[in-house]
Chain A
Amino acid sequence: MQLKRKDLLGIEELNREEIELILETARSFQEVSGREIKKVPALRGKTVVNLFFEDSTRTRISFEIAAKRLSADLLTITKSGSSVAKGETLLDTARNLEALGANLIVCRHRASGAPHWLARNLHASVINAGDGSHEHPSQALLDLLTVADRKKRMDGLQVAIVGDIAHSRVARSNIYAFSKMGAQVRVVGPATMIPRGIENFGVRGQCPQVFYDLGNGIQDCDVIMMLRIQQERIIWTPFSSLTEYSRFYGLNREILKRAKEDVIVMHPGPVNRGIELEPEVADGPHSVILDQVANGVAVRMAILYLLSGHS
Chain B
Amino acid sequence: MRLHIKNGFLIDPKNKRDGRFDLVICDGCVEDVLPPGQKVAEADIIDVSGLIVSPGFIDLHTHLREPGFEYKETIQTGTRAAAAGGFTSVCCMANTYPVNDNASVTQDILKIAQESGCVNVYPIGAVTVGLKGERLTPMGELKEAGCVALSDDGQTIANSQVMRLAMEYAKSFSLPIISHAIDPVLAGEGVMNEGLTSTRLGLLGIPHAAEDMMIARDIYLAKLTGASLHIAHLSTREGVNLIKRAKEEGVAVTAEVTPHHLTLTDQAVGDYNTSAKMAPPLRNSEDQEALIEGVKSGIIDAIATDHAPHGVMDKEIEFDQAASGVIGLETALSILLQLFENKSLSINRIIELLTVNPARIAGLKRGSLEKGAMADLVIFNPKEEWEIDPSKFYSKSRNSPFTGMKVRGVVTHTFVSGKRVL
SS class of chain B's interface: helix, strand, loop or mixed?
loop
Total contacts A-B at CB 8 Å: 72
Q: How far is the CA of A91 from the CA of B207 in the complex (A)?
A: 31
- Whose C-beta in chain B lies nearest to the C-beta of A53? B318
Q: How far is the CA of A235 from the CA of B205 in the complex (A)?
A: 13
Cross-chain contact B320 with A112 (CB below 8 angstroms): yes
Cross-chain contact B272 with A116 (CB below 8 angstroms): yes
Contact with B along A182-210 (1 / 0, CB 8 A): 00000000000001111011000000000
Q: How far is the CA of A196 from the CA of B188 in the complex (A)?
A: 16
Q: Which of A213-245 contact B (CB under 8 A)?
A: 235-236
Asked if A61 CB lies within 8 Å of chain B CBs, one says no
Q: Which of B152-160, B195-203, B250-258 contacts its partner?
A: B195-203
Q: How far is the CB of B277 from chain A (nearest CB, A)?
A: 11
B contacts with A, residue count (CB < 8 A): 24
Cross-chain contact A197 with B199 (CB below 8 angstroms): yes
Cross-chain contact B203 with A113 (CB below 8 angstroms): yes
Q: How far is the CB of A44 from chain B (nearest CB, A)?
A: 34
Residues of B within 8 A of A111 (CB): 318-321
- Among A120, A135, A195, the residue within 8 A (CB) of B199 is A195
Q: How far is the CA of A133 from the CA of B318 in the complex (A)?
A: 13
- Whose C-beta in chain B lies nearest to the C-beta of A199? B196
- Among A91, A113, A114, A133, the residue within 8 A (CB) of B271 is A113
Residues of B within 8 A of A195 (CB): 198-199, 205
Asked if A164 CB lies within 8 Å of chain B CBs, one says no
Asked if B168 CB lies within 8 Å of chain A CBs, one says no
Q: How far is the CA of A256 from the CA of B284 in the complex (A)?
A: 41
- Whose C-beta in chain A lies nearest to the C-beta of B196? A197
- Whose C-beta in chain A lies nearest to the C-beta of B191? A112
Residues of A within 8 A of B387 (CB): none
Asked if A60 CB lies within 8 Å of chain B CBs, one says no
- Among A109, A114, A201, the residue within 8 A (CB) of B200 is A201
Q: How far is the CA of A134 from the CA of B204 in the complex (A)?
A: 10
- Whose C-beta in chain A lies nearest to the C-beta of B319? A113
- Whose C-beta in chain A lies nearest to the C-beta of B189? A235
Asked if B22 CB lies within 8 Å of chain A CBs, one says no
Cross-chain contact A235 with B188 (CB below 8 angstroms): yes
Residues of A within 8 A of B203 (CB): 112-113, 132-134
Interface centre among B189, B202, B320 (most CB of A within 10 A): B202
Q: How far is the CA of A26 from the CA of B271 in the complex (A)?
A: 29
Q: Which of A110-135 contact B (CB under 8 A)?
A: 111-114, 116-117, 120, 131-135
- Whose C-beta in chain B lies nearest to the C-beta of A235? B189
Q: How far is the CB of B148 from chain A (nearest CB, A)?
A: 38
Interface centre among A90, A114, A172, A195 (most CB of B within 10 A): A195
Q: How far is the CA of A12 from the CA of B318 in the complex (A)?
A: 20
Asked if A300 CB lies within 8 Å of chain B CBs, one says no
Q: How far is the CB of B236 from chain A (nearest CB, A)?
A: 15
Cross-chain contact A196 with B198 (CB below 8 angstroms): yes
Asked if B370 CB lies within 8 Å of chain A CBs, one says no
Asked if A169 CB lies within 8 Å of chain B CBs, one says yes
Q: How far is the CB of B298 from chain A (nearest CB, A)?
A: 32
Q: Which of B224-278 contact A (CB under 8 A)?
A: 271-272
Asked if B289 CB lies within 8 Å of chain A CBs, one says no
Q: How far is the CB of B138 from chain A (nearest CB, A)?
A: 37
Residues of B within 8 A of A131 (CB): 202
Cross-chain contact A196 with B319 (CB below 8 angstroms): no
- Whose C-beta in chain B lies nearest to the C-beta of A90? B318
Cross-chain contact B205 with A12 (CB below 8 angstroms): no
Cross-chain contact B201 with A112 (CB below 8 angstroms): yes
Q: How far is the CA of A114 from the CA of B318 in the complex (A)?
A: 6
Cross-chain contact B272 with A112 (CB below 8 angstroms): yes
A contacts with B, residue count (CB < 8 A): 28
Residues of A within 8 A of B199 (CB): 166, 172, 195-198, 201
Residues of A within 8 A of B196 (CB): 196-197, 200-201
Asked if B70 CB lies within 8 Å of chain A CBs, one says no
Q: How far is the CA of A166 from the CA of B204 in the complex (A)?
A: 9
Contact with B along A131-149 (1 / 0, CB 8 A): 1111100000000000000
Q: How far is the CA of A196 from the CA of B189 in the complex (A)?
A: 16
Q: How far is the CB of A166 from chain B (nearest CB, A)?
A: 8
- Whose C-beta in chain A lies nearest to the C-beta of B202? A134
- Among B189, B195, B207, B319, the residue within 8 A (CB) of A112 is B319
Residues of A within 8 A of B316 (CB): 91
Q: How far is the CB of B401 from chain A (nearest CB, A)?
A: 16
Cross-chain contact A132 with B202 (CB below 8 angstroms): yes
Cross-chain contact A112 with B317 (CB below 8 angstroms): no
Q: How far is the CB of B407 from chain A (nearest CB, A)?
A: 25
- Whose C-beta in chain B lies nearest to the C-beta of A165? B199
Residues of A within 8 A of B73 (CB): none
Contact with A along B144-174 (1 / 0, CB 8 A): 0000000000000000000000000000000
Asked if B376 CB lies within 8 Å of chain A CBs, one says no
Asked if A56 CB lies within 8 Å of chain B CBs, one says no
Cross-chain contact A112 with B202 (CB below 8 angstroms): yes
Asked if B194 CB lies within 8 Å of chain A CBs, one says yes
- Whose C-beta in chain B lies nearest to the C-beta of A194? B199
Asked if A89 CB lies within 8 Å of chain B CBs, one says yes
Cross-chain contact B189 with A133 (CB below 8 angstroms): no
Q: Which of B179-233 contact A (CB under 8 A)?
A: 188-189, 194-205, 207
Cross-chain contact B202 with A135 (CB below 8 angstroms): yes
Given the contacts A111-B321, A196-B194, A236 and B202 also touching, CB distance less than 8 Å: no
Q: How far is the CB of A128 from chain B (nearest CB, A)?
A: 11
Residues of B within 8 A of A132 (CB): 202-203, 320
Q: How far is the CA of A280 from the CA of B194 in the complex (A)?
A: 39
- Whose C-beta in chain A lies nearest to the C-beta of B203? A112
CB-CB nearest 5 A-B residue pairs? A134-B202, A197-B196, A113-B272, A111-B318, A133-B202
10 A-B contacts (beta carbon < 8 Å): A111-B318, A111-B319, A112-B320, A113-B319, A116-B271, A116-B272, A134-B201, A200-B196, A201-B196, A201-B200
**Additional A-B contact list (17), CB under 8 Å, known A195-B198, A195-B199, A236-B188:** A111-B320, A111-B321, A112-B203, A112-B320, A113-B201, A113-B202, A113-B319, A131-B202, A132-B320, A133-B202, A133-B203, A133-B204, A134-B201, A166-B199, A169-B202, A172-B200, A235-B189
Give residues in A with beta carbon < 8 Å to B. Answer: 12, 89-91, 109, 111-114, 116-117, 120, 131-135, 166, 169, 172, 195-198, 200-201, 235-236
Give residues in B with beta carbon < 8 Å to A. Answer: 188-189, 194-205, 207, 271-272, 313, 316-321
